[in-house]
Amino acid sequence: MELQDATALGGAIRAGRTTAAAVMEASLAAASALDRLGAVTILEPELGRVGAAAADAAAARPAFHGVPFFGKDLGAHAAGLAPGAGSKALRRLLPSPPTDSTLFARFRAAGLIPFGLTTVPEFGLSLTSEPLGGPAARNPWDETLSPGGSSGGAAAAVAAGIVAIAHATDAAGSIRVPAACCGLVGLKPSRGATPAGPDFGNYLMGLASELVLARSVRDVAAAFDAVARSEPGPFPDRPRIALAITPNTGPAQIAALRAAAEGLVGIGCEVSEIDPAPLDALGERAGAVAWMILAVSLAEWLDSLGIGESDVSPLTAAIVAQGRATPASVLFAASREMACIGHAFDTLFDNAEIILTPVLSGPPPRIGHFDMTGTDPAAHFAAMGALAPNAALANVAGTPALVLPVVMADGALPVGVQWAGKIGTDRMLLTLAAQLEAASPRPRFPYAIAGLPQ
């Protein structure tokens, strides 16, 4: 049976089984019908219709030809869609961009048609997606749960079939946590693998990477190939997998890790379990560095725009105050700490090509799990670290980290497992994940993809 994903949707349009215009109308209808999920914060139907008409008239037929696509309300921009980072104050200040960023120009060249922005928490500061004054993004598998954050709206839109693929960003787990919450595939690319220009506004001293959330490995691989400028590295004949089960990991997450490990053995990998203590120690150091950089970056960003404390949530104001008070010498020391963490993490791959870890410590959080009205940044960051242990490590070290869902025998929500590799091994992760995906049960999503012929 053919995969139900963005590649299949683009193939159906190329083959004449449907049209880009018909698929766009189906996506717009799904966005309206599933408005209660809070996945979409900005919808521009005319952008979508114009783009679809152009696709139907075009001679070129790339991989994602005519496929509807959402940008994230944080990160790189598409023409006509200014990301507001979940902030009404920021949205009032930003003009509509006349041209695509480099990343979106490459997305568009691959056939994707941007026509809206997905919901994020204010300034991306939470692992749920509940902007102040706006509807919370809800998990299509269970609407009492969050789809995660900060790319939660993107994850909800893809899991609900409003679109088959959506833009996402990751500075401390923001692609991987939503992928794990919603049974999706997500890759946090290696540092520098995907473009951050022309303004580098979401670079965050190298923490942030951008790509997509999707329902299949082949979609993520095709998106990576469309936008990345990196060469495939060597692929070992018998990849070595290190299984690291961190403390306080829930039973479903442990079961998923062991199922993934067993599946990898089945496709010819060598799997061994390792002591998670060195990984946890590095993860704790990485979290501290990431939160400091996020705080300083946010303070600089809001100060430069003249956005004051009264324009943001109490938690954002407290984080900005902390960032503003951070001395330059401390920030410089953090840059050195990033290099040290990256080197130490690299040594953990001396005896393995891939390290397999949990993404979440337990099930997806419920709506309201994180309180943006609090004023204690340390407590907030600690709570995020408890939900997604060591999530910031790949960001600080600059390494790729891919999430692949594992279908559970009890029919429960699929559980995401993280595959981490050395810098530059993105394609190796994608190739191996595709092999395991092909040999494993696939999630049965609660919604079909809008416009995909059945």
pLDDT of residue 229: 77
Q: Annotated catalytic, 422?
A: no
Query: Is the pLDDT assigned to residue 445 strictly greater than 80?
Result: yes
CB 110 within 8 A of CB 226: yes
* pLDDT-based confidence at residue 106 (cuts at 50, 70, 90): very high
pTM, full prediction: 0.98
| DSSP output for 380-414 | HHHHHHHHSTTTTHHHHHT--EEEEEE--TTS---
Average pLDDT over residues 394-419: 94
Which tens digit of pLDDT belongs to each residue from 242-254? Answer: 999 999 999 999 9
Q: Which residues of 132-170 are buried (b: 16+ CB within 10 A; e: fewer)?
A: bebbbbbbbbbbebbbbbbbbbbbbbbbbbbbbbbbbbb
- pLDDT tops 90 at residue 230: no
Is 272 among the residues known to form the active site?
no
Tokens 């996945």 locate to 39
Coil/strand/helix, residue 62 = coil
What pLDDT sits at residue 101?
A: 97
Which residue is catalytic, options 27, 101, 150, 190? 150
Active site residue 150: yes
Mean pLDDT of 356-364: 98
pLDDT at 200: 74
pLDDT of 40 strictly over 60 = yes
Q: Which of 101, 129, 146, 174 is catalytic?
A: 174
Nearest Cα residue to 381 out of 430, 436, 319, 339: 319
pLDDT tens column, 69-103: 999 999 999 999 999 999 999 999 989 999 999 99
Domain 6-438: assigned CATH number: 3.90.1300.10
User: What six digits make up the tokens of 120?
Assistant: 């994020």
**Span 112-134, average pLDDT:** 96
Interatomic CA distance for residues 28 and 49, integer angstroms: 10
pLDDT value of position 203: 75
Cross-strand pairs, 272: 242
Q: What are phi and psi of 357, to 5 degrees?
A: -140, 165
Residue 345: exposure state from Cβ atoms within 10 A (0-12, 13-18, ≥19): buried
Mean pLDDT along residues 39-57: 98
Report how far residue 294's alpha carbon sits from residue 347's, in angstroms, rounded to the nearest whole number.
26
Q: What are phi and psi of 109, to 5 degrees?
A: -65, -25
Find the mean pLDDT for residues 162-185. Answer: 98
Q: What integer is the mean pLDDT of 405-428?
A: 93
Q: Where are the domains of the chain?
A: 6-438
pLDDT band, very low/low/confident/very high, at 1 (cuts 50, 70, 90) = low
CA distances to 138, 359, 428 from 431, rounded to whole Å, are 31, 20, 5
